[in-house]
Amino acid sequence: MEIKKTDFLVIGSGIAGLWFAYRTSQQGKVLILTKKKDTDANTNYAQGGIAAVMDKEDDVKYHIDDTLKTGDGICHKDAVEYMVKNGPQLVEELYRIGIDFTVEEERLSLTKEGGHSHRRIVHSADRTGAAIEEGLLNVVRSNKNVEIDENSYVVDFIVNATTPYNQDIVGVLTYDREKESFFIIQAKIVFLATGGLSYIFEHTTNPPIATGDGVAMAFRAGVRLANLEFVQFHPTSLYKFLVNGRSFLISEAVRGEGGKLRTIDGYRFMPDYHPQAELATRDIVARAIFNELKKRNDEYVLLDLSDIPSEDIKKKFPLIYKTVLSFGIDITKSMIPVVPAAHYSVGGVLTDLTGKTSMTHLYAAGEVSCTGVHGANRLASNSLLEALVFSDAASKNVDIEQISLRPLPSKINFPEEIIYISDNTYIEIYIKKLRWIMWYYAGIVRDGETLKKGINEMEKLKKEIYALYPEEVFHVRLKELRNMLTVGTLILKAALAREESRGLQYRKDFMQKSDSFKKDTIIERREHEIYIH
């Protein structure tokens, strides 16, 4: 099996991975692995923006307070303070290296989103993620110390272990889709930036690549995870129409500029649920929509933009305007049919303020990680900021001059004989079933009985899949399905363990918060079992 060697191995090509590569390229050789095209990441689909205190009327204390309030009691305050204080200078640096942020009157344009007390959302019209992605790709592509391997699917970590709780990552096992062969990459430092997992839900704003591979690999290797029960459902995705297999997101900034939510018969319902109405945090708005749909037996609600001038809609939201128009809806004249969709994983691989995980030489940042910044609920547009700040922190913490390539283990944990399959018809059928299970049993509103049924359904599905496809059978989509099984089960079990309603976790059978759960849900693998504490 071919072996490649590098100083820094970056898994994923969103903002976290690209920024870490940009920073560490000054220290050594960087190899970025991405399982599809280098722009296919959740970063690329982030419409709203990146939150940072850039206005003289704003202050870091307000941003900290807004984040803590949204996080509903379990944010790591030190992580929040670190992110908010270090964010503005890094956003300024993004602008200086060429990111095409919107500028008005020679200053960065700022908008407002739900949960924010001030205008602090730096944006590039309504395609901020894409602008950041494109800008950073241009920077790293021009760097002779950085190499990007597309269509490289990371199968698993390779670790040296003295004990199950003292492990050191030495590389990864990877499958090259073009060469149709496996190879090993040895690295001094592995940086995990695989992004989100919300494609495991039937309705989602995430692309089909967001299958939770990073979380699943980390769990199998014994790395500590946290807070996977907290999945954020974006309140407003376009009803019925899909774009490249995902629900099209209608940015929260649309409500920040004056968009109103109405039932099909025209009633504006959000003032009934919260004093901030449409500018309440995402969990509140999503549950309000869910409640109205259930109460009225409707399939969608309407987002009314009539208070926003037509020219402002086209100027500030050109992507949304053009995309929705392609489906026959002119949002300057008609209301937009919207429904909630799974959007962002608050939980993930547990890290400290420098991106360190519980495994030696493994760092993580971005949506795959859990820094504690978001607590039980993410404040809008804090995600790109978190990815930027903590990937930067990780890059400052590593010193590869003190690290040598560690030897590979004598045996790699992978079947000796591989059976390759090309037909994935049944795999897609199983993926569709799994996504339905997650949406039905672990959706916006949960209860213990439903979660237990979901766990049982996942176990039955797992047995069925492994009976048809034993471990030695390989197809990239099959591996993604297995990762989805792992992550889905972890979410269900974490949600069952948290017997309260807090932030994004809403339990009908435990409606109140409990002080006994004012902490992270820590998840570990012990002796092939899931251990939650």
Cα separation, 394 vs 67, whole angstroms = 22
| Cβ neighbours around 424 below 10 Å, total | 16
Active-site hit among 246, 255, 282, 446: 282
CB 494 within 8 A of CB 348: no
SS3 state of residue 237: strand
Confidence of residue 38 (pLDDT cuts 50, 70, 90): very low
Per-residue confidence (pLDDT) for residue 167, from 0 to 100 = 87
Q: What is the mean pLDDT of the chain?
A: 94
The model's pLDDT over 111-127, given as tens digits with 9 standing for 90+, comes to: 988 899 999 999 998 78
Confidence of residue 430 (pLDDT cuts 50, 70, 90): very high
Nearest to 133 by CA among 384, 389, 382, 315: 384
Strands in 348-350's sheet, in edge-to-edge order, are 369-370, 348-350, 225-226, 522-526, 529-532
SS3 state of residue 161: strand
Per-residue confidence (pLDDT) for residue 47, from 0 to 100 = 60
Q: What is the CATH number of domain 238-340?
A: 3.90.700.10
Q: Two tokens at 151?
A: 């269509």
Cα separation, 166 vs 232, whole angstroms = 33
Place of tokens 């149709």: 180
Least confident of 43-57, 361-375, 517-531: 43-57
Q: Which residue has the higher pLDDT, 384 or 38?
A: 384
Q: What percent of the chain has pLDDT over 90?
A: 86
Confidence of residue 359 (pLDDT cuts 50, 70, 90): very high
pTM: 0.93
The model's pLDDT over 325-357, given as tens digits with 9 standing for 90+, comes to: 999 999 999 999 999 999 999 999 999 999 999
CB 168 within 8 A of CB 159: yes
The pLDDT of residue 45 is above 90: no
CB 281 within 8 A of CB 114: yes
The model's pLDDT over 16-27, given as tens digits with 9 standing for 90+, comes to: 999 999 999 999
Q: What is the DSSP letter of 55?
A: S
The pLDDT of residue 43 is above 60: no
What average pLDDT does the segment 5-30 reach? 96
Greatest distance between any 2 Cα atoms in the chain: 67
- Whether 282 sits among the annotated catalytic residues: the reply is yes
Any idea where the domains of the chain sit in the sequence?
A: 238-340
Least confident of 38-42, 224-228, 303-307: 38-42
Per-residue confidence (pLDDT) for residue 228, from 0 to 100 = 98
Per-residue confidence (pLDDT) for residue 163, from 0 to 100 = 60
Cα separation, 487 vs 507, whole angstroms = 20
Cα separation, 308 vs 267, whole angstroms = 18
The model's pLDDT over 265-290, given as tens digits with 9 standing for 90+, comes to: 999 999 999 999 999 988 899 999 99
474-479-480-484 Cα dihedral, nearest 10 degrees: 140
Beta bridge partners of 473: 419
